[in-house]
Amino acid sequence: MDGCTMLKKKKRNILEKVLALGVGYVLAELLVAGLNLIPITEVLIDYKGKRGFYEYMHKMFYVYSKEDETLGFVSKSNIDDSVTVNITFKYNTDDYGFRNKQNNYKKTEIAIVGDSFAYAYGVEMENSWASKLEQLLNVTISNFGVVGYSPWQYNETMKRFPDFFRNKTVLYCLYTNDFAKIITSPSKDYYKRTGRDYFESNSPSFFDLVAVETANDSFFDRTVTSALYHEIVDEKNVVGLSNGSILYKEENEVKEDWTSRENREYLHRNLSEAHKLATENDSQMVVVLFPSRLATLSGEYIKHFQEKKPIKHEKELFKMAKEESTNLGLEVIDLSKPLEEGYTSENPTYNLIDFHLSSYGNQVAAREIACSLERWGYIKPIKTTTENCTEKPTLTYVVTSGIIHLDEIDF
């Protein structure tokens, strides 16, 4: 056998070995992903945290809420329960399933619609911005904010209870995820489409927890290669700040295509419909924009994650909302600047390990809203506008503890 033949044979053997290794690796990855070994490992490492999160979500979806033909789901009535997930607070609802101390909605002067930011998730009712706004303006306010709602559900709420939105000033609250076109009407598989069915079990098994971990992951996301990529190549997804706060990468969830023409039309339809409903009920409507913690802490975010896109996209969304509102003749209260200026390490306007406003942040929001409503003549002032705008809110912020868990579903 000559040298040339031996060299070819050697190269072929090497190629066969490389090919065999490649095939073996692919088969191994198929096995790992198919058996969900990566999610299983994650559950084993943080079993207590995963179970606590599951039990919390079960409470929110199956104990505190129930399916509804028109609204997809509604909050059950007369709840007064302590909730712990990252933070601990009282979850309250009245006879109608809303967070109010009284049910005489026809006599109130201001009606609020929105999601968890309207509800004031994470703080006690007396520390909510709705309660603080009542004190500042000396008026009675009805809060129809429901945790997990989207703009189409705000509008459906206004349709269902027209008497409660008659002769009012309607505060129409928007958070960043309200700009995403998601489900626009309820359906028979609503719970499945919104991921609520993942948390149906009252006592989750180990594999129920694994199922939640894999629910939104592609096959590739469950491979060793993907796990290694996120561990080695991808940037850190969470950082701790000096005051104990936790900041997550892209926690405002904003996607670039949320500013698309389709989404602008979706926003326009919702705002137009809400404005029409308010007008038909002889009410005035004001749009209130709640910024994300990420945007409020933009300096810290850029410093730790070296990216500006989520901040830029959120600003574009707020600009879009202001343009659409202005075209409809609606006033807009943008809370971005007050919450940013009011934030200090000692007095954070957001909860330390949650995306929502702290008690102090609720007070800052209430003061800005009160100031705007007085200045524009929606409310006859009891205090002067100057006092409301210059008087600093009294700090009642308390650091609370709970389960620290990264697998958040934003409300």
Give the pLDDT confidence score for residue 191 in this predicted structure: 84
Torsional sign, CA 366, 313, 217, 229: negative
Residue whose structure tokens are 């690796």: 25
Give the pLDDT confidence score for residue 410 in this predicted structure: 43
Are 254 and 313 in contact by the 8 Å Cβ rule? The answer is: yes
Please tell me what DSSP assigns to residue 235.
P
Residue whose structure tokens are 């709970």: 402
Give the pLDDT confidence score for residue 37 in this predicted structure: 84
Please tell me what DSSP assigns to residue 112.
E
Give the pLDDT confidence score for residue 393 in this predicted structure: 53
More confident residue, 98 or 19: 98
Give the pLDDT confidence score for residue 138 in this predicted structure: 92
Residue 229 has φ and ψ, to the nearest 5°, of -60, -50
Distance CA 245, CA 243 (A): 6
Q: Lowest-pLDDT range, 13-17, 53-57, 182-186, 269-273?
A: 182-186
Distance CA 140, CA 151 (A): 24
Structure confidence by residue, pLDDT tens digits, 98-132:
999 877 787 899 999 999 999 999 999 999 999 99
CATH number given to 78-191+236-390: 3.40.50.1110
3-class secondary-structure state, position 172 = strand
The arithmetic mean of pLDDT across residues 178-195, rounded, is 79
Distance CA 373, CA 385 (A): 9
Burial track 47-73 (b if 16+ CB lie within 10 A, e otherwise):
eebbbbbbbbbbbbbbebbeebeebbb
Report CA-CA distances (Å) from 238 to 249, 361, 372, 399.
6, 22, 35, 19
Give the pLDDT confidence score for residue 411 in this predicted structure: 43
Nearest alpha-carbon partner for 276 in 358, 377, 158: 158
Considering 204-208, 331-335, 372-376, 405-409, the range whose residues carry the highest mean pLDDT is: 331-335
Give me the amino acid identity at 302: I
Please tell me what DSSP assigns to residue 353.
T
Are 410 and 57 in contact by the 8 Å Cβ rule? The answer is: no
Q: Measure CA 103 to chain center.
A: 27
More confident residue, 32 or 135: 135
Model's pTM, two decimal places? 0.87
Relative orientation angle of helices 309-327 and 261-280, to the nearest 10 degrees: 40
Residue whose structure tokens are 């609606």: 330
Structure confidence by residue, pLDDT tens digits, 217-239:
888 888 888 878 777 766 678 88
